[in-house]
Amino acid sequence: MGLGPGDRREMTLRAAEALENADTIVGYVLYVDMIRDRFPGKDFRATGMRGEVERCKLALELAREGRRVAVVCGGDAGVYGMAGLILELAGKDGDIDVEVVPGLTAAVSGAALLGAPLGHDFAVVSLSDLLTPWEVIEKRLECAAIGDFCVALYNPGSVRRKDHLKRACDALLRHASPDTVCGVARNIAREGEAVSLMTLSQLRDYEADMFDTCFVGNSRTRVIDGKMVTPRGYPDD
């Protein structure tokens, strides 16, 4: 299930209900720590970064023991989350009943902070190349720019990937104007939450990390009263 991009303020009612009904909660250490105090008496199991396969196998093993298990992840479980992996692993035996509980992905929550940057067709692209070759990521970005899509960029930077946002912007700039309106939502629903507006050329030099979600507008995106807005195309819009 998805908890929302940040703390429990962004958790959906359905997700909270599922956690209340679970006896065991499995997840990445950070997300487990965010909800531990809210759900006392639960059996919490946590694994570290890059422990996704181990985490999902553990959850399925516990479910086969007769436990009611909830696997938590940030944002939405089906958007760069654990839902796909759980379904893949569970489907090999077909003995586990899996329910995917929706959450709030950062594209939705971050967009709300900035205004309405995703008011028209958009793409969501992760800049992490741990599981996807950079050549594929770059091609997807170019195609999005050619199609004049708005783009939400996940995982824009880390200690190991300091230049990925710059390279992503270079790919977009091959087909998009350097003056394209962009925004960054930082620490969404967490302490230190903040937003910034800038152009695509300025975003290229922005020092992003894993706490940022970046938004690139399309050719019609503009700033209205301090908000990033992509018109839908209504009359007089």
Q: What confidence tens digit (pLDDT) does each residue in 186-196 have?
A: 999 888 999 99
Q: Are residues 127 and 222 in the same domain?
A: yes
Edge-to-edge strands of the sheet including 24-28?
43-47, 24-28, 69-72
DSSP annotation of 10: G
Outline where DSSP puts E strands in 143-190. 150-154, 181-186
CA 71 – CA 48 distance, rounded (Å):
14
Do 24 and 70 contact (CB within 8 A), yes or no?
yes
pLDDT digits (tens, 9 = 90+) for 169-184: 999 999 999 999 999 9
- Residue 68 forms part of a structural domain: yes
Question: Are residue 37 and residue 134 in the same domain, yes or no?
Answer: no
Q: Global pTM?
A: 0.91
Residue 35 has a pLDDT of 92
One domain for residues 123 and 208: yes
Strand pairing class (115-116; 69-72)? unpaired
**216 and 137, same domain (yes or no):** yes
Average pLDDT, the chain: 93
> For residues 213 and 185, what is the distance between their CA atoms, to the nearest angstrom?
5
Angle (deg, nearest 10), helices 134-146 and 164-173: 40
- Whether residues 142 and 74 fall in one domain: no
Q: pLDDT, tens digit, for every residue of 139-159?
A: 999 999 999 999 999 999 987
Residues 116 and 195 in one domain: yes
Q: State yes or no: pLDDT of 8 exceeds 80.
A: no
Residues 127 and 206 grouped into a single domain? yes
pLDDT band at 2 (very low <50, low <70, confident <90, very high): low
Total number of domains constituting the chain: 2
What burial class does residue 99 get, using C-beta atoms within 10 Å of its C-beta: 0-12 exposed, 13-18 middle, 19+ buried? exposed
Question: CATH no. for residue 212?
Answer: 3.30.950.10
Tell me, yes or no, whether 59 lies in a domain. yes
Range of the domain at 32: 8-91
pLDDT digits (tens, 9 = 90+) for 194-208: 999 999 999 999 999
Higher pLDDT, 210 or 1: 210
182 shares its domain with 218: yes
Same-domain check for residues 141 and 199:
yes
Do 113 and 201 belong together in one domain?
yes
* Domain presence at residue 97: no
User: Could you tell me if residue 2 is inside a domain?
Assistant: no
Q: How far apart are CA 93 and CA 70, in angstroms?
A: 19
Do 70 and 134 fall into the same domain? Answer: no
Residue 38 lies inside a defined structural domain of this protein: yes
